[in-house]
Chain A
């Protein structure tokens, strides 16, 4: 299946070229995955997603990749780029400092095809921790009441509200690699986001949900999640702060 192709027409004077290696795999009929190589052009501003889309446009439209916003907002384009979990639309070829760029599907997710992976388990875990403010119903229907917060109260959780559910943290997590039932750093960081919100009253039910044999205690402080998060969320810190609640250091 391996092939080498290149775009030879309309070369810009500032363009340089690299080899893009895409891991191809269709679980429906391939026995194993295989790299396909393409020679692609890039400029200073070209992202990894751009070159993958060039490959689709000029060489092989069957390459499967999920993307939407192209601006690190939708969380669709997570993949392993030169060995590290990154957003393809938020990673420039020029910053990789390499003549060969390898793209693989995210680890710890089942592959649908090529670079597209299944998100069902991430969304399930996220939903399980009740990712919304839990209040008394009577207070919610009243349109007179506003839930005011001081800047200090906002600071407690706002960083964690930046999560775009891209799954890069779950892909980097070593526990996720062997424990298929682990709730994962994404959902744990979101559990902290709501537990730490002064408007929320659902702390007990959330803490109960993650206090399971495959819950929060299966984090072993590797910290890989926080290293790869493209939005500056620090899931590892969220997990330790949540642990503080569970061990009685915070209330």
Chain B
């Protein structure tokens, strides 16, 4: 992928994350902080489908943004063809892994499997 395309995604995910994380924080303010972390309350959040979809989106946006950011830091730290390839594919794999693991939690809870 062209570097400009990757960076457009990087800036786009950052902007979208600001909007969605703001909604996420506002939703958390609807109840007390300790209360919002109670087991039943967390389960209820995951079961409320629009909110669960939003959490999934935040997960994807920040995983893409964060791991691309990590790729940038690592290729600026050290250079070399093999190293840079390893960093790029490593970050992509970690990104997919984190999204898969997070999605598993969201989907399983949503479906009442926990």
Contacts and interface: CB of A to CB of B under 8 A. Distances in A.
Contact of A217 (B4, B77, B78, B84): B4
A248 to B, nearest CB: 9
A217 B79 CA distance: 16
The prevalent SS among residues of B at the interface is helix
| Contact count band on A | 10 to 19
Nearest to B11: A247
A213 B4 contact: no
A180 interface: yes
B75 A217 contact: no
A178 B76 CA distance: 6
Interface in B54-97: 72, 75-79, 84
A218 B11 CA distance: 14
Nearest to B6: A217
A212 B3 contact: yes
Nearest to B8: A247
A63 B8 CA distance: 49
A213 B75 contact: yes
B4 A211 contact: yes
Interface in B1-18: 2-4, 6-8, 11
Interface string A156-178: 00000000000000000001001
B78 to A, nearest CB: 8
Interface residues of B, number: 14
Nearest to A215: B3
A127 interface: no
Nearest to B77: A178
Contacts of B76: 175, 178-179, 182, 218
A101 interface: no
A247 B79 CA distance: 26
A246 B4 contact: yes
Contacts of B7: 217
A178 B3 CA distance: 19
Given A178-B77, A179-B79, A217-B7, A211 B72 contact: no
A181 interface: yes
B2 A211 contact: yes
B75 A179 contact: yes
B4 A214 contact: no
Contact of B79 (A180, A211, A212): A180
A218 B77 contact: no
B94 to A, nearest CB: 18
B72 A218 contact: yes
Contacts of A246: 4
Per CB-CB distance, the 3 closest pairs between chain A and chain B, nearest first, are A179-B76, A217-B7, A211-B4
Given A212-B3, A217-B72, A218-B76, 10 more contacts: A178-B76, A181-B79, A211-B3, A213-B3, A214-B75, A214-B79, A217-B3, A217-B6, A218-B72, A247-B11
